[in-house]
Amino acid sequence: MSDITKQSLSELVRNIKNKKVSSEEITKEFVNRSEKSKELNAYITEDYSSALDKAKKFDQKPNLNLKLPGIPIAVKDLFCTKDIRTTAGSKILNNFAPTYESTVTQNIWNEGAILLGKLNCDEFAMGSSNETSFFGNVQNPINKNLVPGGSSGGSASAVAGQLTPITIGTDTGGSIRQPASFTGIVGLKPTYGSCSRYGIVAFASSLDQAGPMAQNVKDCALLQEVISTYDSKDSTSINFKRNEYSKELTNNIKGKKIGIPKEYRVDGMPKEIEDLWQKGINYAKDCGAQIIDISLPHTSYALPTYYIVAPAEASSNLARYDGVKYGFRAKGENLIDMYEKTRSEGFGAEVQRRIMIGTYVLSSGYYDAYYLKAQKVRKLIKNDFDEAYKKVDAILTPSTPSAAFKIGEKKDDPVSMYLNDIFTVPVNLAGLPGISIPAGHDSKGYPLGLQIIGKAFDEQNILNIAYAMEEKIDFKNKITDWWIK
């Protein structure tokens, strides 16, 4: 069967269930294409030969009732995979092979999926361009020398470049939705507590959430259905009734009330983004939705709040990397010297910067002024959404304030890099679900995304809105395979 890697997940699943293609044939095609795509640097660890073995094994006794029968999938290298190196994009975990499996990855293997490999990401998911990875930056399949976004940059590049039919990423401040937007794919950040955090290398525990990235909304819904489960091993996992998102998916969104927050019209926003947003509003109207102007008054405080809360939690989470129990160890003259050198040599610049910010805002004398203050503003931001949701069912915004930028362009200016997440960060602070769908191109032909934000646990509703709008938008990703010789 030709062009297997061009097929969507839903097509692959259908073809495998109808016995038109075997898991081995599919896996071979994705392995071949991945091997020809080394220039993208999307993978940190490849697991191709064992993927092919598993595919052969699947074909011998295929269980076609599974949701991901024999489907090869590469995942972000932030998910612990048993006996397979898990680095989080960091030198400090360069040789770490977990002795256990994350719940989210276990869920996809239980449904028949096969691991292709581990995908590149910003170090400890701290970054918006995949340039902080110890394993080098990732190329955007859209254009050479363009960042794929971050932190799930390898994941976005791998889906857009068709090295994997779907993937899972993680999103702490936009790390699924921003790279999805930069590469012309769909990415969903679920409600906090929807997907288990067990076995995910922790960054900021009150914000981290795993989620699906796919070529279209339907595939995204199917993967969400598989990965979202209650898990007693995650103390903040929430036991709510989960939908069968892909089965219940509908493009009928007539009468849905969609809010347009005026505060998202930020200073200096390019006209292209403004136009895209207006286009999105028109599409939503075409689908029968009702557009309502709303206000989220504390929007401009979200990024400063995030840059206190996230580093504070990170500095505490990353205290575990001491060179004793696992990971990299530097030689030191004594125990303290060993700790300090291990962490100084093992962590990259951005991670050290955030550990410093976090330590500072939690340190004696500054806790109230920074950390406590940020937690209070976080409450105000959440209140804004609670108020808005009394009037609307969902909120429509751009995903990012610009299209993908050049590699190196923002690397030396942390604040301008942070501003990339201006539209995505409030969603994490409030613990809500948000989905980015590709909605158009800028003047250079780079993809631009729109974000739909939902009420907590209302993934089905935003998937439906995204599904309906996707049909109207009819987006075509411009991938020329420039990296394949």
Partner 1 sequence: MSIDLKTIKHISKLSRVSVDDQKAEKLANDLNSIFKFIEKLNELKTDKVEPLTSVAETTLKLRSDEVKSNNIREQIVKNSPQDNEDYFVVPKVIE
Touching partner 1, residues 199-238 (CB under 8 A) = 206, 232, 235-236, 238
Residues contacting residue 474 through CB under 8 Å, at least 6 positions apart: none
151 is catalytic: yes
Size of site (CB under 8 A) for partner 1: 71
Binding mask 258-297 for partner 1 (x = CB under 8 A): ----------------------------------------
Q: CA 444, CA 227: separation in Å to the nearest integer?
A: 36
* CA 293 to each of CA 250, 301, 391, 397: distance values in angstroms, whole numbers, following the listed order: 25, 20, 10, 12
- Listed as own residue / partner, the contacts of 354-359 with beta carbons closer than 8 Å and 24 or more positions apart are 354/126, 354/310, 354/311, 354/314, 354/315, 355/311, 355/314, 355/315, 355/318, 356/315, 357/307, 357/308, 357/311, 357/312, 357/315, 358/310, 358/311, 358/312, 358/313, 358/314, 358/315, 358/316, 359/315
Work out which of 143, 329, 442, 479 binds partner 1, going by CB under 8 A.
Answer: 329
Rounded Cα distance between 27 and 38, Å, is 17
Q: How far is residue 171's CA from residue 151's CA, in Å, rounded to a whole number?
A: 8
Find the part of the chain contacting partner 1 (CB under 8 A) among 29-37, 89-97, 181-189, 264-272: 89-97
Report d(CA 116, CA 162) in Å as an integer. 13
Judged by CB under 8 A, the residue of 298, 410, 441, 455 near partner 1 is 298
Q: Residue 141 class from Cβ within 10 Å (0-12 exposed, 13-18 middle, 19+ buried)?
A: buried
Task: Please say whether the beta carbons of 124 and 358 come within 8 A.
Answer: no
Give the footprint of partner 1 on residues 367-396 (CB under 8 A): 370, 372-380, 382
Instruction: List the structure tokens of 423.
Output: 């539209």
Between 13 and 374, CB nearer to partner 1: 374
Known active-site residue 175: yes
The single-letter code of the amino acid at 105 is T
Least Å distance, CB 99 to partner 1, is 4
Among 136, 363, 386, 481, binds partner 1 (CB under 8 A): 363
| Residue placing its CB nearer to partner 1 in the complex, 253 or 355 | 355
38 scored as a contact of partner 1 (CB under 8 A): no
Instruction: Select the span of 243-251, 273-281, 397-405, 427-435 touching partner 1 (CB under 8 A).
Output: 427-435
Q: Find the part of the chain contacting partner 1 (CB under 8 A) among 53-61, 181-189, 356-364, 389-397.
A: 356-364
Binding positions for partner 1, 392-421, rule CB under 8 A: 414-415, 418
Least gap, CB of 247 to partner 1 (angstroms) = 27
The distance of closest approach from Cβ of residue 375 to partner 1 in the complex, given in angstroms and rounded to an integer, is 3
Q: Which window, 70-78, 93-101, 129-137, 389-397, contacts partner 1 (CB under 8 A)?
A: 93-101
Active-site annotation, residues: 76, 151, 175
